[in-house]
A = this chain, B = another copy of it.
């Protein structure tokens, strides 16, 4: 069994940001991700209403380390200003790396 060191990048954002984020994932070559509807409470103490228009989403994607750096930089440069969004990376060890 071969496990491969990869990065899990997690993005929490307004659902409005879904299309720009997933477009960016395609641009950097991420081949798959999962998307969760979440409730969130952010840095201003605002509770997001449980409705489609203002819902939050969490997107998780596994990428090689160099893609993680590129993805986080593009998120920071292009999407952090217009959208409520946070992003972080963590270490994972993956079966089936060819899927990513």
Interface on A for B, CB 8 Å cutoff? 1, 3, 6, 8, 10, 12, 22, 31-36, 38-43, 45, 56, 58, 62, 69, 72-73, 75-76, 80, 86-96, 98-100
Taken together as a complex, chains A and B put the C-alpha atoms of A5 and B92 apart, in Å, by 15
Cβ–Cβ contact B40 & A72, under 8 A: no
Stoichiometry, as copies per complex, reads 3
Residues on the B chain within 8 Å of A36, using CB: 36, 38-39, 58
Given A1-B72, A36-B36, A38-B36: A80 touches B92 (CB 8 Å cut-off): no
**SS class, residues of chain A in contact with chain B:** strand
Q: In the complex, which residues of chain B have a beta carbon less than 8 angstroms from the beta carbon of A62?
A: 86, 88
